[in-house]
Amino acid sequence: MNSISAAASAGTGSGSGTGTETGTGTGLSGERFPVRERFPVWKDKFSLVSSMIQRQDLAFVQVPMQTTVAFITHLRDLEGYAHLVFFTAIDYIEDGIFRLTYMLHNYRRHHDLGVQVDIPREDAGMESIHHLWPHGATYQRELKEMYGIDFPGSPGVDESFVLEGWHDIPPMRREFDTKEYSEKTYYPRPGRVTYDPTEYMKEKLYPSEAETW
Amino acid sequence: MVDVKQNSQRSKFPPVDAVTGKSRYNLLSGKYLKIWQGPQHPGITGNMSLELTVCGDEVIECKTHVGYLHRGFEKLMERRKYIQCFPLVCRICVPEPDFNEYLFAAGAEELAGIEVPEKALWYRTLTLEMARLASFLMWIGGQAGAFGMATIGQWTVTMRDYVLDLFEELSGGRIYHMYIIPGGVRSDLPAGYARRVEDTLVMIEKVLKDIDLAMMHNAVFKKRAVGLGVITPGMVDEYGITGPNARGSGIRRDIRKDLPYLVYDQLDFDIITEEGGDAYARTRVRMRETAQSIDLIRQMLRKMPAEGPFFRKLPNVLHWKVPTGQTYVQAECTRGEYGFFMVSDGTELPRRIYVRGPSYTHAVTLMERLAVHVNIADTAGLMVSLHTYPPEIER
Amino acid sequence: MSDMQDMEKTESEEQIARIAAEMRLANDGLSDQDKAYFCDARPQAVEPYRGIMEKFANWARSQSLWILGFGTGCGAIELRPLMTSRFDMYRYGIQPRPTPRQSSVFVIGGYASVKTVKRIVRSYEQMQGPKFVLGLGSCTVNGGMYWDSYNTINRIDYYIPVDVYITGCMPRPEALLAGFNRLKQMIREGRCEGMNTYAENFDWYKANQKQIIKDWNMPDYNW
């Protein structure tokens, strides 16, 4: 228990910029791309907001909305981050923002870089990257459908991708309650019982284990 | 038919207008016909559909439609505790659920800073390779079936079943194993397990030899697969192609080597590549990787530590608060780069989990590009040769 | 005299025409141009044969069950081993068919998303009678793992009639074989009347289907 909490505290700190090695058995060895040295350059050119090194082969940087696509283009063409791994959004409803994450991979250095940008939740919209990677359009189509983030100019962004005839608010937004929607719409079969897992575990399954925790 | 294939290399135009995303072809002209392949179609992989516009029997436009298997995993995981997500993640991908289990466990462990015992790493690698073997066997049957050789499907699916028997002995489940959990694995290997694995491997090797003779040297198969759906090396980065699809074009990329995870740095293997980039080259890559997977399983059974714990006790998983942070973990699955992007906000529930499936680009953007100027009968074969799997596209 | 007869005749004709119009399906989802292409008749319940003939027909039906090859969910993965040499369902007279027109059993392979339900309804209605439905996996019973998902239905029996459920996630091939044998037994006993149930409660089923399938752009019954 003690060792776990110690390891956890050494694990991650958001936006602190300190490089930490988490020994999670990923078995990394040998020297890696010193991404830290690139941060000042990027800061000058693209005004980085913050940076964080999560692992030897993974870092996250945050850039303002205005320079994002220029920064990604620079990374793709000049720094070797030519592979768009994925592109997705995180909904921080309490802060009123969506955090878009472009994950890029550099095959030469074997390094992943997550480029993050905060956009306001109201009238969410972002510049399109479909001209950089064709499958960027697919990701943007999904984001438009699942989060309601608009990407003007992206081909087919208004077509439905996964859902068909969806009339509610975009389902991946935090304010959408999937359980309520399901119960309202899909005739739940009576008989499903929910137990409080802690109580149930104490009573039924492992009384001795529950005591020790 | 030869002309059609030459056309496919010559064609530079995307099937749809790049600006509007609308079709270039006027159906009312009577020259073109629109055909839906799937979702109710035996030649389709999983439950998805292709909207084909054909001129004669040549496909001139292809549009992929997904979403028939959308269950909203990412939404469901946001309202479940980390340990409750476990039975859920393996259901994202049916042929090889272990990669989901491993990646979810690895991501949660990295965020929570949990070290995994040495022996558990070996067990995890063993299950991942066995899952790879099972998935490849199923795929070989599918690829042969798409070109009209149903017999090979009979052989390989049966062989896969024997691998599933091994999984059943190990974990109790045939399809969904839930064997890899955060902190290690769920149980030790049963007594005499290594010998039974070896027996199965011998059986599979024998069948692989037969398949090599019956399929890879078959004139019909060669005639149809060679030159079908050529991925040029330049397309690999453009379309985000990973895994055997990229290695079939001679690109040396394999996450097991590039970013070694688990115990892959202690195993002796090489990245398998083939030249050509067509369906035949991809089939050869996968055939050879099946043999490689068998070799890796043998190596692991030999080198595996006999003693030691296989599980590390976690804090109370019902109130397991994972510290704030975000990470991306990836592994090389049979189709390419499989990854989990996990964001935690310090509560008991994950903030966001994004599943990066390799089929996302392969089945949608790449398929729409490659299917142009392909004979309509070869569409199914082309699709299988990309090894797409719909549930990981829409999740 | 002849005028009277004509009057009566036109009245009864009007009545027939009115009843026929009520019996007709609206096909509101189709455009006016498309309405001409599709049949608007309602499905009718089928009377069984008399006595021994029905028993013989049921025995014959139970001996050759042809599955529609439509893997609607992840349960379809256990159909592959079932088709191949290890579990070999052909020995029970069961085999997959590529088109709904040739098949008599529809295996719902687990969870069904809304988008798939539309295709399930369409395929089910296109199948020729007598037809049977096998619900595979817990998801068809009560939603299973995805009971709170916004995109998967909870009970398939609100949308099409189900004859046999096979529970489990995933049900093993042996369980599937047991399910098929149970279905055969029920067919022989004449208890699989799902098609007639569907025709009799057609409006209820259709209302349920239309409640979740928002953009209904196919005929009300796919003949």
- Nearest CA to C51 among C193, C190, C200? C190
Distance, CA of C57 to CA of B48 (rounded, Å): 37
Tell me which residue in C69, C86, C123 faces B42 most closely, judged by beta carbons: C69
Yes or no: say if B319 and B346 are a contact pair by the CB < 8 Å rule: no
Q: Is the ipTM of this complex over 0.95?
A: no
- The 10s digit of each residue's pLDDT in C33-77 is 888 888 888 888 888 888 888 899 999 989 889 998 788 888 888
Of residues C106 and B11, more confidently modeled: C106
Yes or no: say if C48 and C190 are a contact pair by the CB < 8 Å rule: yes
Domain assignment present for residue B160? The answer is yes
Q: Which residues of chain C neighbour A163 with C-beta distances below 8 Å?
A: 114-115, 151
Interchain proximity A55–B110, CB inside 8 Å: yes
Distance, CA of C161 to CA of C147 (rounded, Å): 20
DSSP one-letter code for C128:
P
Interchain proximity B94–C150, CB inside 8 Å: no
Q: Which residues of chain B neighbour C91 with C-beta distances below 8 Å?
A: none
What are the structural domain ranges in chain C? 52-212
The reported pLDDT for the residue numbered A213 is 42
The answer, yes or no, to whether residue C23 has pLDDT greater than 70, is yes
- The 10s digit of each residue's pLDDT in C177-219 is 999 999 999 999 888 888 889 988 888 998 898 888 888 888 8
Beta bridge partners, B34, equal B53
Q: Which residue has the tokens 């259901």?
A: B91
Domain assignment present for residue B236? The answer is yes
Residues of chain B with pLDDT under 50: 1-14
Any chain A CB within 8 A of the CB of B320? no
The SS3 call for residue B195 is helix
Question: Chain B: residue nearest A164 by CA?
Answer: B67
Domain assignment present for residue B362? The answer is no
Residue A79: other Cβ atoms inside 10 A: 19
DSSP of C152-195: B-S-GGGTS--SEEE-SSSPPHHHHHHHHHHHHHHHHTT---HH
Q: Which residues of chain A neighbour B240 with C-beta distances below 8 Å?
A: 83-85, 133, 135
Q: Which residues of chain B neighbour A29 with C-beta distances below 8 Å?
A: 260, 265
Tell me which residue in A167, A176, A188 faces C214 most closely, judged by beta carbons: A167
Q: Which residues of chain B neighbour A10 with C-beta distances below 8 Å?
A: 113
Interchain proximity B261–A178, CB inside 8 Å: no
Tell me which residue in A84, A135, A162 faces B394 most closely, judged by beta carbons: A162
Domain assignment present for residue B178? The answer is yes
Mind telling me how many Å the CA of B85 is from chain C's nearest CA? 10
Q: Which residue has the tokens 């790049």?
A: B18
The reported pLDDT for the residue numbered A17 is 36
Of residues A147 and A196, more confidently modeled: A147
The reported pLDDT for the residue numbered A12 is 37
The reported pLDDT for the residue numbered B4 is 43
Q: What is the largest CA-CA distance in chain A?
A: 62
**Which other chains touch chain A, taking contact as 3+ CB pairs less than 8 Å apart?**
B, C
Confidence (pTM): 0.86
Tell me which residue in A163, A178, A188 faces C154 most closely, judged by beta carbons: A188
Any chain A CB within 8 A of the CB of C115? yes
**Which other chains touch chain B, taking contact as 3+ CB pairs less than 8 Å apart?**
A, C
Yes or no: say if C217 and A191 are a contact pair by the CB < 8 Å rule: no
Interchain proximity B113–A26, CB inside 8 Å: no
Interface of C with B in 49-88 (CB under 8 A): 68-74, 76-78, 80-81, 83-86
The reported pLDDT for the residue numbered A117 is 92
Contacts for B365 with CB less than 8 Å, ≥ 6 apart: A134, A135, A137, A138, B239
Yes or no: say if A106 and A114 are a contact pair by the CB < 8 Å rule: no
Over residues A189-213, the mean pLDDT reads 67
- The 10s digit of each residue's pLDDT in C67-96 is 987 888 888 888 888 888 888 888 888 988
Domain assignment present for residue B175? The answer is yes
Any chain A CB within 8 A of the CB of B64? no
Tell me which residue in C153, C208, C215 faces A165 most closely, judged by beta carbons: C215
Interface of A with C in 141-170 (CB under 8 A): 162-168
Any chain B CB within 8 A of the CB of C213? no
- Nearest CA to B96 among B50, B132, B59? B132
Strands (E), B241-307: none
Q: Which residues of chain B neighbour C149 with C-beta distances below 8 Å?
A: 71-72, 75-76
Tell me which residue in C142, C151, C213 faces A192 most closely, judged by beta carbons: C142
- Tally of CA atoms within 13 A in the half-sphere of C63 that contains its CB: 6
B346: CATH: 1.10.645.10
Domain assignment present for residue B8? The answer is no
Task: List the domain range (segments joined by +) for residue B232.
Answer: 73-356
Q: Which residues of chain A neighbour C114 with C-beta distances below 8 Å?
A: 163-165
What are the structural domain ranges in chain A? 31-164
CATH number of this structure's domain A31-164: 3.30.460.80
- The 10s digit of each residue's pLDDT in C109-145 is 888 888 889 989 989 999 988 899 998 888 888 888 8
Any chain A CB within 8 A of the CB of B12? no
Q: How confident is the model at residue A100 (pLDDT cuts 50, 70, 90)?
A: very high
Of residues C9 and A160, more confidently modeled: A160
Q: For residue C109, with 0-12 CB atoms within 10 Å meaning exposed, 13-18 middle and 19 or more buried, which class applies?
A: buried
Report which secondary-structure segment, H or E, holds B196: helix B193-211
Yes or no: say if B374 and B229 are a contact pair by the CB < 8 Å rule: yes
Domain assignment present for residue B188? The answer is yes
Q: How many CB pairs under 8 A join B and C?
A: 89
Domain assignment present for residue B205? The answer is yes
The reported pLDDT for the residue numbered A61 is 92
- The 10s digit of each residue's pLDDT in A34-79 is 888 888 888 888 888 888 888 888 899 999 988 899 999 999 888 8
Pick the CATH number of C52-212 from 3.40.50.12280, 3.40.50.10110, 3.40.30.10, 1.10.620.20: 3.40.50.12280
Best residue in B28, B48, B69 for a mutation probing chain C (most C CBs within 10 Å): B69
Any chain C CB within 8 A of the CB of B349? no
Give CA torsion, residues B1, B4, B8, B14, to 10 deg: -140
Q: How many domains does chain B fold into?
A: 1
